[in-house]
Structure formats: structure tokens, C-alpha cells
Amino acid sequence: MRLKNKVAIITGAGMGMGREAALLFAKQKAKVIVFDIDKKAGGETARLIRKAGGEALFVQGDVSDEADVKKAIQKGVKKFGGLHILYSNAGVLWKDRDKSVIDTTVANWDLVQAINLRGPFLLTKHGIPELRKSGGGSIILVGSISALAGFTLAQDSYTCAKGAMLSLAKSLAVQFGSDNIRCNVIHPGMIDTPLQEVYFTEAELKEIGDSIPIRRIGKARDIANAALFLASDESSFMTGAEMIVDGGFIAT
């Protein structure tokens, strides 16, 4: 019941960490607006929530499209009567197209920025007025450990967009703290989701896991648990902050 009487929108809730958070938030009694570009995956998340006795509304859309984001928020508020949690989770990691600045095309740079940076901008632009109307709320942005250190295998557009989450969180925390609106960032480490599964075999993921202090890579639930804490009132004195959830990777 940690999210009783709260309405949450989660972008990219069709798969991976977004789906896991949607299921966990709904279990904790939040009403969840499942937003995803993938109709089948998003619809399935909403179905799983309802099957478990929760409440969900699936809206298909692209986080980089202002009309889609606006529509999802409007539909959700109409159905559930308010909005309290903005979880900006959707993001893409395109290792084949997003490389070092010297190898990336302008078109690929812009496409990654549109999803990973404009997406959070649009969600907060249209979501914050609704949080205000609801008397406050919690915004969760998703960064990455790749924003906290340089890596030899560069995905520079991704890294810059994720780094921008730190600045956005601090700015929103300062601007809207007096409206009872908090904003924090989660930096996931290596997490086993469809995003990573396309790049690594199971053996390679295990090898990466063995190289970090906790001796495993993360599960979607590890991040969903952190997000649940930030979404709930248990974190009511926390804003403008960063949570690194990476099994100690960045500490080495």
C-alpha cells in the first residue's frame, strides 16, 4: 500500500525496468499509466497488472513526440482523476549507430537526443502542471553509470543525454520544491533487460557480473525497488539527488 491513492505514468513500461516498475507500483496500489511505443509490449504490461488485480491504462506513443506525451497525460488524468508520479524511464541504447563523436552522424546523434533527452523534457513539461494540481508529487529520471565515468566503448549521444538528467533533476528540484514536487535520478548499472540482451550472450553478462563487487549484474527489480522508494512518501526529504544502483561498479 506504499503508493495508495497515487497515479503514476511510466514511460517505456512495455519491457525491462519500466514493466517491472509498473507491476511493482500497481502491486503497491498505484494506478499506472503504461506508456510505450510498442503496442504489443505496453498492452501486455497493462494486462499483467489487471490480471494481478491492479489498475492500469495503456497509451501507445513516442516519448519524443509532444502530442503523444500530452495525450497520455490527459487520458490518464481523465481516467484516474489526477497525477502524482512521473517516471521517465524510456530510453534507447543503439551501440551500432551511437558511437564516439568522431564516428556518429548528426542524424543519429539527434535521434538519440530526441528520445533520451527531449522525452524527459516533454514528460516533465506536461506532467508538472498536473502534479501541481494534485498537491505535489515525485519525478524520477533515469540516468546511467555511463554518465558518471568515461568508457572506452563510447556512445556519446546516449552518455550526454543521461548526464543531462543530473542537471535537470537539480533544476526541477529547486524550481518546484515549494510545490511539494521532488525530482531525483536513478543511475542504473548493468541491468539484465531486453536493452542489454541484444548485445551480450548470457555467458558475457555473467562475466561482466563477476567483475563487479556484488558479483552479479542487476535485475530489473533492483531498479524498480529504488524507484518505488523515490515514488513513495518514504523519500519525502529527498530531492535533487542521485541514487547509484550498480552493484558497486562505479566504486571500483
Ligand X SMILES: NC(=O)c1ccc[n+]([C@@H]2O[C@H](COP(=O)([O-])OP(=O)(O)OC[C@H]3O[C@@H](n4cnc5c(N)ncnc54)[C@H](O)[C@@H]3O)[C@@H](O)[C@H]2O)c1
Annotated catalytic residues are 158
User: What does the H/E/C string look like for the chain?
Assistant: CCCCCCEEEEECCCCHHHHHHHHHHHHCCCEEEEEECCHHHHHHHHHHHHHCCCEEEEEECCCCCHHHHHHHHHHHHHHHCCCCEEEECCCCCCCCCCCCCCCCCHHHHHHHHHHHHHHHHHHHHHHHHHHHHCCCEEEEEECCHHHCCCCCCCCHHHHHHHHHHHHHHHHHHHHHHHHCEEEEEEEECCEECHHHHCCCCHHHHHHHHHCCCCCCCEEHHHHHHHHHHHHCHHHCCCCCCEEEECCCHHHC
Our CB check for ligand X shows the closer of 88 and 232 to be: 88
Our CB check for ligand X shows the closer of 9 and 134 to be: 9
The minimum distance between CB 180 and ligand X, in angstroms, equals: 26
The minimum distance between CB 198 and ligand X, in angstroms, equals: 8
The minimum distance between CB 112 and ligand X, in angstroms, equals: 10
Our CB check for ligand X shows the closer of 30 and 41 to be: 41
Our CB check for ligand X shows the closer of 111 and 238 to be: 111
List of residues contacting ligand X (CB under 6 A): 11-12, 14-18, 36-38, 41, 62-64, 89-93, 115, 142, 144, 188, 190-191, 193-196
The minimum distance between CB 11 and ligand X, in angstroms, equals: 6
